[in-house]
Amino acid sequence: MAFLRAHTAARLLRVSAPTTSRPAFATAQRRLKSDDTSTALSQNNLPTAPEVRPANSPDYGVHIDKATSTYTPVPKRVMDGSEDTESVPAAVLSGAPIELQARTVRIYQPSKPATQSGTWGAHHWRMDWDVLAKGIDGKTR
Task: List pLDDT tens digits, range 23-78.
Answer: 555 555 555 555 666 655 555 556 666 677 777 777 777 666 656 655 665 666 66
Which string of b and e fits 43-60 if b means at least 16 CB within 10 Å? eeeeeeeeeeeeeeeeee
Give the pLDDT band of residue 2 (cuts 50, 70, 90).
low
Q: Write the DSSP string, 72-128.
A: -PPPSS---S-S--SS--HHHHHT--HHHHTS-EEEEPPPPPTT--S-TTTT--EEE
Mean pLDDT of 123-139: 69
Q: How many CB atoms neighbour CB 94 within 10 A?
A: 14
Quick one: what percent of the chain has pLDDT higher than 70?
A: 40
pLDDT of residue 110: 80
